[in-house]
Amino acid sequence: MCDTFVALPPFTADGSVIFGKNSDREPNEAEVLEYHPALVHGKGESLRCTYITVPQAEETFAVLLCRPFWMWGAEMGANENGVVMGNEAVWTRMPMRKEGVLTGMDLLRIALERSRSAQHALGIVLQHLEDYGQGGLCGYEDRRISYHNSFLIADPKEAWVLETAGPLWAALKVKGMYAISNGLTIGEEFSEAHPELIETARKKGWLKKGAPFHFARCFSDYLYTTFSASRTRRERSAKRIAGMEGTMDVPAAFEVLRDHGDGEYRPDSHLLGNRLCAHAGNKIFRNAMQTVGSLVVHLKPNFQTCWATGTSSPCIATFKPVWLRDPVLPDPGPASAGRFDARSLWWHHEKLHRAVLQDFPTRAKAVRKERDALEKELLVKASQGSPGECREMTEAAFETAWARTAEWTALVQELPVATRPRFFYRRYWEGQNRKSGMVPQ
């Protein structure tokens, strides 16, 4: 479960393109923030993806990826040409293929590694969708979960939304802004579509005689789409962005991804995963609903800045600047297989996150003031720095965030619990902590 948005002029304050995504997966499914340089490959080389092998391109571009540790593919990322992408799980009426196919995350990474523009990336996804199909087993511990995919693709000039149902698809060029979640959104209007899309809906009885074709109404699976709470989350992000027309900037994008709704938030207070900043809470509806990584990309014509947490829970995490200029990232530590590792950036922050969960209203508030001050400092430095200082600024940002996270963890662990979570919520997280080998205080 995830949420992705893009804002273009006239919504952005400086006429740029701003992209954002929260990647929501299982609580112990660490997401790796990593950089891969541009490479030239030999003719005839093959590429091993998550489950199948496909031909390798002769050239691949440098990419920054946010990737579930056990997959080859990625949930979101950017390449050196200023192309950014995020994908969403969607459930449709078309049959699901669980073997011998590419995952949506594979399709995303292949497109980022090979594309020069958003429209080029769109074409790469569609070609691989036609050649290899999509689906596969996409859960970490839940090995039953499989889905089709939607994608939001952008570059400094334009953005596209691509939504699929098995081998079928519809694509829409974005005007102004767009948000996607875990449900089909394209309706009667689309820019391009699979040639058999409408006829398939008619043959299966999903398009009634005389009715206008509406992609989402014809192809959505009602049950999964409803209980994913995708409509609520999408409407919330779209409403927030629409309310910032002409003023949307990078800090505002952070706040969209941190959104918990109106009023004081308690992660044990709701059944469904209906918040943009997602905190897992039960095995039925919110097990794969933990935001394990967040990314904002500021796309200007000649300069792109990525802002990544590299950690879970953006509401208490720090967005740090990254530029795709070699070398790019400090070492984020090992991508451990679902087990706590103190050397890992993701698990280092997870100590803070799980300590905050012991009393979210009190402990999250204790962190945010200092976190906001740190981010403000990083934003100022990023806006004033020169291209030659990119590596140094990124390294300093990650080092400072690591040190501050350790301080904040110690701080919240000393705070008395004023608002204890409900019993079943506590039990859920106790189980997750046992599995990961973590015992928060």
Choose, from 2, 49, 138, 306, the residue flagged as catalytic.
2
Give just the sign of the alpha carbon dihedral 39, 44, 48, 53: positive
The neighbouring-strand residues paired with 32 are 67
Give just the sign of the alpha carbon dihedral 20, 339, 412, 382: negative
Rounded Cα–Cα distance for residues 83 and 182 (Å) = 22
Q: With beta carbons less than 8 A apart as the criterion, state whether 241 and 177 touch.
A: yes
> Is 138 assigned a catalytic role?
no
3-state secondary structure 121-162: HHHHHHHHHHHHCEECCCCCCCCCCCCEEEEEEECCCCEEEE
Residue 223, classified by CB atoms within 10 Å of its CB into exposed (0-12), middle (13-18) or buried (19+), is exposed
Q: With beta carbons less than 8 A apart as the criterion, state whether 104 and 89 touch.
A: yes
Q: Which uninterrupted H or E stretch holds 87?
A: strand 84-90
- Whether the ω angle into residue 10 lies within 30 degrees of 0, i.e. cis, is yes
Residue 242, classified by CB atoms within 10 Å of its CB into exposed (0-12), middle (13-18) or buried (19+), is middle
Residue 383, classified by CB atoms within 10 Å of its CB into exposed (0-12), middle (13-18) or buried (19+), is exposed
Q: With beta carbons less than 8 A apart as the criterion, state whether 148 and 219 touch.
A: no
Going by the DSSP 8-state scheme, the letter that residue 160 receives in this structure is E
Active site residues: 2
